[in-house]
A and B are shown apart, each in its own frame.
Chain A
Amino acid sequence: MESASTSDGAGNARPDDGPLVRRALAGERLAFDALVLRYQRQAVAVSYRLLGNTNDALEVTQDAFFKAYRSLDTLQKPEAFGGWLMRIVSNLSLNYRRARKVRSQLPLDDLLGSSGDSGEAAGGSEWMSRTGDPYRAIQGRELGERTQQALNQLPEKQRAAIVLFTIQELPQKEVARQLGCSVEAVKWHVFQGRKKLRELLKDVM
Chain B
Amino acid sequence: MVMDLIVGLIPLAPLSGFLLIALLNKQLRHWLVALIACSAVLVSFVLTVVLFFAMGEDLPSFNYTAFEWITAGNFSVSYSLLADPLSVLMMLIITGVGFLIHVYSAGYMHGDDGFNRFFAYLNLFIFFMLLLVMGSNYLLMFVGWEGVGLCSYLLIGFWFKNTEYNNAAKKAFIMNRIGDVGLILGVIMIFIQFGSLSYPDVFQQASEMTAGSTVLTTITILLFIGAIGKSAQIPLYTWLPDAMAGPTPVSALIHAATMVTAGVYMVARNNILYSLSPFTLDLIVIIGVATALLAATIAVAQNDIKKVLAYSTVSQLGLMFLALGLGAYTSGIFHMTTHAFFKALLFLGAGSVIHGMSGEQDIRNMGGLRKYLPITFITFLIGTLAISGLPPFAGFFSKDEILANAFAGNKIAWGLAFLASLLTAFYMFRLFFLTFSGSVRANETVKHHIHESPSTMTVPLVVLAFLSVTGGFIGIPAVFGGGHALNEFLSPVFAGSAQLQEPHHLSHTAELMLMGVVVGVTLIVIWLAHNLYVKRKRLPAPDGVSLGTFHRLIYNKYYVDETYDRAIVRPMNFTSKAVDAVVERLLIDRIVNSTGRVVTWGGRTLRHLQTGNTGFYIFAMVVSIIVLLMVKTFV
Q: Do A and B come from one complex?
A: no
* Chain A residues packing against B (C-beta within 8 Å): none
* Chain B residues packing against A (C-beta within 8 Å): none
